Chain A
Amino acid sequence: MVRLHEGIVAAIVAVVVVAVPAVTLGLAAAPSAPTAQAGAAEAATTATAAPKPLPKPVSAAATASAAATRTYDLDFTLPTAGKSGCLVCHGDPNLAKIGVETTSSIYVDVAQLQKSAHAEGTPCTGCHLDFAYTSPHKQIEGGDDWAAAAKLACKNCHKDAFSAYANGMHSPAGKPGQTPDETVKARVAAGKPANVPLCGDCHGGHVIPSMDDTPAMTAQHLTGYDMCGTCHIEAAASYSDYYHGAAYRRGSLDAPSCWDCHGYHEILAVDDRRSPVHPSRLAETCGQAGCHDNVDEQFLEYAELVHGHDALRDANPVFSLTRDTIGRAVETLRSLL
């Protein structure tokens, strides 16, 4: 269905978007080619020659820098108020973006989209704010990273959630008086990832389930290792105690996900007294509805095991002895064979 743009492929471009509807809409190919090639060549040059710059701060990324009805570079107009316009191209399963090193699908599954919380009332441009409707979509001048813009566009509707997020550790905001660039540099200097997770990094994009969609919410409950563990690798690896981590890892629905203890949106450091996992708040957190009842101080001793089970087991002399003995036996057998 999709015809890859020959000029772009020949130039080893960074981005190729080929639109079948260009034909169906009577789009003349000639005017778009130079634009696409220029954009692609520019991207390729950036990807191969220029040193990778620090990511731009995202604090301003979700601000629409162009009206959805701006004049397009191309000689056609898509019905931007609804989803049908974008999905004319993006509803094609074969639609792909060919980069210098990777090829990624830019297909949007309409069926999934229709089941999502945003099926009704949210047009594509409600989240994808920064698009120029050229082919392929170029960053419009003054715009920022389109992906970051989309991932952070949630703030325009979900204001309370965004406020909580902005107060937490995941907030892109720097210290008072810091410029956005200084914030990024400070994060990198502190050994933290330059990029903070944006709304879309945790919640996904086109498949965000409705709160009423019980199966989808149930499935989301079990995504902690992917959602948080992608960045918090050590914390995810050590979340392995009997009734919490080990059960959660195996898909037990009554086992807590990361956010059941650590909270969500307003994620705070463990040593922050407002954090639900701060020692002073553990009784409240462990005693929340559906978890433990009548929590007392002695019970909180168990908290040590939630992320410390493996370390405690490794420190146990019987376990060490058994493991070493079996290890030696296996080595001996191997040497004999």
Chain B
Amino acid sequence: MGLTQLNVWLDAIFTTLYPVIVLALMGHFLGNILTGRAKRRFGKEWAWPHHDSHPPALPKFLHFTHVACMFVLGGTGLFIRFNPISRETMQWLHYVAMIIVTVNLVWRLWYAFASRQRDYREFAITKQDIVTAPKVILYYIFVKPSKPHLGKYNVMQKGTYTLFVPLLIIQAITGFMLWRLQFPIIDTSLQQVFAGLIGATGIWLVRTIHYIINWLFIILTTVHVYLSVTEDFPAFLDFFGLGMFDKRSAEKHHGDDHGHGHDDGHAHEPATAYASAEHA
């Protein structure tokens, strides 16, 4: 199969696969409804995992800008590929977002490995994670009612977030190799420079890799958003500075302000069935 056919096959695979994944997530939510998880979480019981601490401001800020830029990058990436409108504006948005994401990535890696808080251990997959991985999977497919709690993130989260790093690095490198804006004075672009090194076919391969990873990010982000909302909605709200919409938070304020006791005291307790469950 030549690169020409590969181009068409990639579109065929990903434009078919993505709706299938969305349908699968809809099916999964149906599972949440049928097993009663959705009612316990989104209903009166508001039974979500309890967290002892809130995410610090900097990771929250980085996460927020990262999410916003990833949506822009995914959307504009597809716009550039399929050209539903003129692509000049899309390219500009794409370039701006990619710079922010690259800066974010460096900042987050510094935070994880070199800052005072250095939280990289929270993402490290341990031997115990691997041993308990089947149980986590069984929980997500509704075979088990809870999943083992080993740390802030479960093994699937750790795997996904760790995978994001090399994917982001590859995407940043390939993205800069495709940078078409002409630099002033030297009157050339990064794409032209790299085309001189690896040839037009090399740039074509780079574009193909960039396109595949773009789809991987779109798929992984979709799954991440779905699981964040359905598995730990309060944490999802908290990460976007919307913690005031967490019912537990509202009740806490209500109690603090008026000194009333709680009829529904368990809202402050760890959710019984999911006391050990972190958001996905």
Contacts and interface: CB of A to CB of B under 8 A. Distances in A.
A302 B204 contact: yes
Nearest to A241: B7
Contacts of A296: 199-201
A312 to B, nearest CB: 5
A286 interface: yes
Contact of B3 (A251, A302, A313): A302
B211 to A, nearest CB: 10
B12 A319 contact: yes
Contact of B204 (A246, A251, A252, A299): A299
B200 A287 contact: yes
A259 B243 CA distance: 58
Interface of A, secondary structure class, is: helix
Interface string A278-294: 00000000110000111
A316 B81 CA distance: 18
B7 A305 contact: yes
Interface stretch (B84-92, B108-116, B220-228): B84-92
Contacts, number: 83
A305 B192 CA distance: 22
Interface of B, secondary structure class, is: helix
Given A242-B81, A295-B200, A296-B200, A301 B195 contact: no
Contacts of A253: 86, 88
B3 A246 contact: no
A305 B2 CA distance: 11
Contact of B16 (A286, A304, A312, A322): A322
Contacts of B81: 242
Contacts of A286: 200
Interface size class of chain A, counting residues whose CB lies under 8 Å from the partner chain: 20 to 34
B196 A294 contact: yes
Interface of B: 2-5, 7-9, 11-13, 15-16, 81-88, 180, 191-192, 195-196, 198-201, 203-204
25 contacts: A242-B83, A247-B83, A247-B86, A250-B84, A251-B85, A252-B83, A252-B86, A252-B87, A292-B200, A293-B195, A293-B196, A294-B196, A294-B198, A296-B200, A299-B199, A299-B204, A301-B3, A301-B4, A305-B8, A312-B8, A313-B8, A318-B9, A318-B12, A319-B12, A322-B12
Shortest 6 CB-CB distances between A and B: which pairs? A293-B195, A318-B12, A251-B86, A246-B83, A299-B200, A299-B201
Interface of A: 242, 246-247, 249-254, 286-287, 292-296, 298-299, 301-302, 304-305, 309, 312-313, 316, 318-319, 322
